Amino acid sequence: MARRAAAGLLRRLAPLAGELQARGMSPTHYGTTNHGFSRFYLLQGRRHLYGSRTNIETDDTRQSTHMNFEVQKRSFCSAVAHIQRNPAYSVLNSDDVSYFKIVLGESSVVQDEDRVAVANVDWMGKYKGSSQLLLLPKSTTEVSKILSYCNSRRLAVVPQGGNTGLVGGSVPVHDEVIISLGGMNNIISFDNVNGILTCEAGCVLENLSSFVENKGFIMPLDLGAKGSCHIGGNISTNAGGLRFIRYGSLHGNVLGLEVVLADGTVLDMLTTLRKDNTGYDLKHLFIGSEGSLGVVTKAAILTPAKLPSTNVAFLSCNDYMSCQKLLLAAKRNLGEIVSAFEFMDRHCIDLAMKYLEGVQNPLPASPYSFMF
């Protein structure tokens, strides 16, 4: 039974391989393969290199090009030269817009040039798309209707959270319809005993942090983009952040997900059960898959208890090896109370002091190259 269910899911995920091609991917970029998922992995590699359009051939890519079948390794050096729009995908027309207005209401279908322009570009201005349409669904049902329609019309889409990502994943490559999750920002429930938060994907991380802190808990992740990034975006990028060292990755902290697949099917995996051994744990496919397998609409997250106190130490070190020794010493002597460990090198410190107003080096006389 479980095997049949998994096969069914994989069949449903298949249209997304086409969705990736709409965003400029062609299987031929990566050698011959019948293994759809390898393309999903490689897409991430493309994103990392997209800004500079770097064309790097590694031993891995050379080898895979010369084989008829292979299990491809995850790589950060996928070769990308020219990204062509796949002509098999439709171009948006006025009937499409009318349909979306019926489903979502006028105010959630944005064609205003200025507003769409903001969603077409990432926050650093490095990646720019040419979408004509921004959709703002407010429920899972609306997301499902959008995707079902786009799938039947062969319209490419890109999900967008807080648009804080650094690799261009949240903005269109060509003219994809942008689906922003910003309107789905409700907290659904909080289990005070087990610290389990259930919320919609468009909740801003900082708002969730404030909410759970008032109840004596903290979010298991914290990062610089917290004031804008969404929990759905965090999950889709498998964001790490400052608390990773203590609380681990979202693969451990996300207990359940609700996801809408490309054909509009709603996959309800929104369990809040911490120990759930029933069959395949499909939610992990969606954590870190950057919207390539489906749109995350809800999540259940395990939140750790708030610490009674926090102490921060700022230290300096001579070289990178000493940083590693310090980390080891901290873990040995402080055990699991080490919540975060970050280092900055001299270059980074100098840049921060040069460009950020009011920033001072707490160890001004330090001759050392690394700080924590």
The residues that touch ligand FAD, with contacts defined as CB under 6 A, are 158-166, 169-170, 181, 201, 223-225, 229-230, 232-234, 236-237, 239-241, 290-291, 295-296
Q: Which is nearer to ligand FAD, 31 or 42 (CB)?
A: 42
Q: Which is nearer to ligand FAD, 64 or 116 (CB)?
A: 116
Q: Are strands 295-302 and 196-200 parallel, antiparallel or unpaired?
A: antiparallel
Give min distance, CB of 332 to ligand FAD, in A: 25
Give min distance, CB of 171 to ligand FAD, in A: 8
Residue in the shown chain whose Cβ atom is closest to ligand FAD: 233
Q: Which of 350, 351, 343 is nearest to 364 (CA)?
A: 350
Q: Which is nearer to ligand FAD, 217 or 286 (CB)?
A: 286
Give min distance, CB of 132 to ligand FAD, in A: 18
Q: Which is nearer to ligand FAD, 64 or 254 (CB)?
A: 254
Give min distance, CB of 106 to ligand FAD, in A: 23
Give min distance, CB of 95 to ligand FAD, in A: 26
Give min distance, CB of 43 to ligand FAD, in A: 9
Give min distance, CB of 323 to ligand FAD, in A: 17
Q: Is the dihedral of CA 74, 119, 24, 53 positive or negative?
A: negative
Q: Which is nearer to ligand FAD, 162 or 256 (CB)?
A: 162
From start to end of 75-117, where are the E strands? 109-110
Question: To which residue do tokens 């261009």 refer?
Answer: 168
- Contacts for 169 with CB less than 8 Å, ≥ 6 apart: 47, 237, 290, 291
Q: Which of 308, 330, 340, 337 is nearest to 222 (CA)?
A: 340
Give min distance, CB of 169 to ligand FAD, in A: 3
Q: Which of 163, 162, 164, 94 is nearest to 133 (CA)?
A: 94
Give the C-alpha separation, 208 to 219, whole Å. 7
Q: Which is nearer to ligand FAD, 38 or 234 (CB)?
A: 234
Q: Are strands 295-302 and 316-317 parallel, antiparallel or unpaired?
A: unpaired
Q: Which is nearer to ligand FAD, 31 or 161 (CB)?
A: 161
- Six-digit token string for 201: 């994907």
Give min distance, CB of 144 to ligand FAD, in A: 13
Q: Which is nearer to ligand FAD, 46 or 230 (CB)?
A: 230
- Contacts for 88 with CB less than 8 Å, ≥ 6 apart: 18, 21, 22, 154
Q: Which is nearer to ligand FAD, 56 or 124 (CB)?
A: 124
Q: Which is nearer to ligand FAD, 181 or 323 (CB)?
A: 181
Residue 192 class from Cβ within 10 Å (0-12 exposed, 13-18 middle, 19+ buried)? exposed
Residue 12's H or E segment, with its range, is helix 2-13
Task: Judge whether 201 and 296 are in contact, CB under 8 Å.
Answer: yes
Give min distance, CB of 112 to ligand FAD, in A: 20
Residue 260's H or E segment, with its range, is strand 254-260
- Supply the DSSP symbol for 154: T
Beta strands across the sheet bearing 134-135 = 109-110, 134-135, 177-180, 157-160
Task: Judge whether 78 and 46 are in contact, CB under 8 Å.
Answer: yes
- Six-digit token string for 360: 């001072």
